[in-house]
């Protein structure tokens, strides 16, 4: 039981560290193209973009 708790804690910590590294790296990059973002959001909702 304790092993399962330790494995879960390790997995969660690894996930949080990975997400923090990704967030820091994406902050250094250029901002995403607005049209591409709008297309992805529209495609996810199943509608065509108006612009």
Q: How far is 32 from 19, CA to CA, in rounded Å?
A: 18
Residue 38, domain extent: 2-45
Placement of tokens 């390790």 in the chain = 10
50 is a domain residue: no
Specify the higher pLDDT residue, 34 or 5. Answer: 5
Q: Is residue 51 part of a domain?
A: no
**pLDDT (0 to 100) of residue 5:** 96
Asked, for residue 9, whether it belongs to a domain, the answer is yes
The token pair that represents 21 in the structure block: 């590294």
How many structural domains does the chain have? 1
> What pLDDT shows up at residue 22?
86
As a whole number of angstroms, the distance between CA 9 and CA 45 comes to 35
Q: Tens digit of pLDDT for each residue in 17-50?
A: 999 998 887 765 555 566 666 666 655 566 655 6
Whether 30 maps to a domain, the answer reads yes
Based on the number of CB atoms within 10 Å of its own CB, is 39 exposed (0-12), middle (13-18) or buried (19 or more)? middle
């Amino acid at each position: 039981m304790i092993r399962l708790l330790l494995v879960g804690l390790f997995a969660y910590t690894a996930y949080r560290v990975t997400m923090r590294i990704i967030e820091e790296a994406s902050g250094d990059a250029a901002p995403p193209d607005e049209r591409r973002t709008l297309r992805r959001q529209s495609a996810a909702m199943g509608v065509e973009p108006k612009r």
